[in-house]
Amino acid sequence: MELKKEVVDMKKEVENIKDESQSFAMQFVETLKKQNQRLFVCWIITFLAFVGLLGYTIWLLNDVETITTEITQDTETGYNNYIGNDGEIING
């Protein structure tokens, strides 16, 4: 009888080991799923930041104004006439 009982106990132990290994594998798969989800979210955030930076750079490149300044000098009178947008009022 003891031999039969030992065989039954061994079968139960083998089944427990199989269940543990399956649960370990399933835990590993679940951990991988969570990690992949986190990495995907990080990638999305990084991609959106890159697109925002690219858009801001393009906006800055198109936002540059050209300021023209013209300085003329009358050679007969020696009078300098400044034409530009510096906020000064020039009286002739």
- 16-58 pLDDT, tens digit per residue, is 877 776 677 788 888 999 999 999 999 999 999 999 999 999 9
Contacts of 92 by beta carbon, 8 Å cutoff, 6+ apart: 81
pTM above 0.85, yes or no: no
Question: Would you mind telling me the total number of residues written for the chain in this entry?
Answer: 92
Higher-pLDDT residue of 72 and 42 is 42
